[in-house]
Homo-oligomer: A and B are copies of this chain.
Amino acid sequence: MKATLIYGAGDIRVEEVPDPRVQHPTDAVVRVLRTCICGSDLWPYASRPATREGDRIGHEFLGVVEETGADVSRVKRGDIVVAPFAYADNTCRFCAEGLHTSCPSGGYWATDGVDGGQGEAVRTPFADGTLAKLPVGEDSELLPSLLTLSDVFCTGHHCAVTAGVGPGTSVTVVGDGAVGLCAVLAARRLGARRILLMGRHRSRTDLGRDFGATDVVPERGEEGIARVRESTDGDGTRAVLECVGTLPALETAFGVVRDGGVVSRVGVPQYEDGPVGPSMFQRNLTLTGGVAPARAYIEELLPDVLDGTVDPGRVFDRTAGLDEVPDGYRAMADREALKVLVRP
């Protein structure tokens, strides 16, 4: 079959790889109907050292179960399923409390010999725990929105939930990428009153308005902080959803949060140390969030996707075949595309 590999910064190739097969009794093989490129894939695309052997890449997919191991009972051949961006057994003490990303048996796609999502098929560890069944057909028009349950919509939701967003909360979202826009959607879904979206890409912030942003702040840094504060009686918002992952984004988040408020982040930190000294302490700020346990949220969010209450699939503004994946990376890196949907 074909799959996507990364050989280093800017070097994405689609190549023949061995067909995936059940290796453990808890495995399933899923034929991929839809996958996509993630903003977080752009980090290695920007900076990964070159290697002679490529590594698989991609962590978002939905598809059809083709083969199951002997111990798999919850999903069966022919089921349409979506995979969260981390696999997990869904039975351990961490999974039981919704923290699937800390599952001792779990892990990430495209690491440690596990397939990446950007390919024609994927061997799925702990299939019973990992995969969520979708009550749709292979030709459903909802596939793009359902695919966002793999990562970006669940991640935006995790950001809003851990920030404590509820009815009436004032929220700033830092970043107008797919996760930021999904965070807007999730915050509105949870009842946020005022949602200020910090972003400067008009086509993205327009979608952000459709998703529920009440204000768009295109300025960055100190200027952006001043704009948010002016718009909120000088105080900032109670919740800030940091959906970028850079240190300046975190600094902006601390700048726009109200004293006593919460900064939640779901962009993978591109820093080791952050500004958590006396100022944060004096203001009683909370820093929370983290890698989203997407699996924990799929069943909760699924009904709203199925009935069209939310349409997170609108973050996809380009569709590509598998052979076009390298150009999809380029287009996202060049900001030509917000998020590229892939039909293998």
Q: Chain A residues in contact with chain B, CB under 8 A?
A: 93-94, 97, 99, 101-102, 162, 235, 259-260, 265, 268-269, 271-278, 280-291, 293
Contacts and interface: CB of A to CB of B under 8 A. Distances in A.
Given A259-B99, A260-B97, A276-B276, A269 B287 contact: no
Given A260-B94, A260-B99, A276 B269 contact: yes
Contacts of A272: 275, 277-278
26 contacts: A93-B235, A94-B260, A99-B259, A99-B284, A101-B282, A102-B260, A102-B283, A102-B284, A162-B284, A268-B278, A268-B281, A269-B278, A269-B280, A272-B278, A273-B274, A273-B277, A274-B274, A274-B276, A276-B287, A280-B290, A281-B289, A282-B290, A284-B293, A286-B286, A286-B287, A286-B288
Contact of A281 (B94, B235, B265): B265
Nearest to A284: B290
Contacts of A280: 269, 290
A288 to B, nearest CB: 4
Contacts of A94: 259-260
A284 B86 CA distance: 14
B287 A291 contact: no
A250 B271 CA distance: 18
Contacts of A101: 282, 284
A260 B289 CA distance: 9
A259 B103 CA distance: 10
A287 B269 CA distance: 15
A14 B259 CA distance: 37
Contact of A259 (B102, B275, B286, B288): B102
Contacts of A99: 259-260, 284
Nearest to A245: B281
Given A97-B260, A99-B259, A99-B260, A282 B274 contact: no
Given A269-B276, A269-B278, 6 more contacts: A162-B286, A272-B277, A276-B287, A282-B291, A284-B289, A288-B288
A260 B93 CA distance: 12
Contacts of A291: 281-282, 284
Contacts of A102: 259-260, 283-284
A269 B282 CA distance: 10
Nearest to A292: B284
A283 B106 CA distance: 13
A280 B278 CA distance: 19
Which 5 residue pairs of A and B lie closest in terms of their CB atoms, listed nearest first? A284-B290, A102-B259, A272-B277, A286-B288, A273-B273
A293 B286 CA distance: 15
Nearest to A286: B288
A268 to B, nearest CB: 7
A277 B245 CA distance: 10
Contact of A285 (B260, B274, B290): B290
Given A99-B259, A259-B94, A260-B97, A281 B290 contact: yes
A260 to B, nearest CB: 4
Contacts of A274: 273-274, 276-277
Nearest to A277: B272
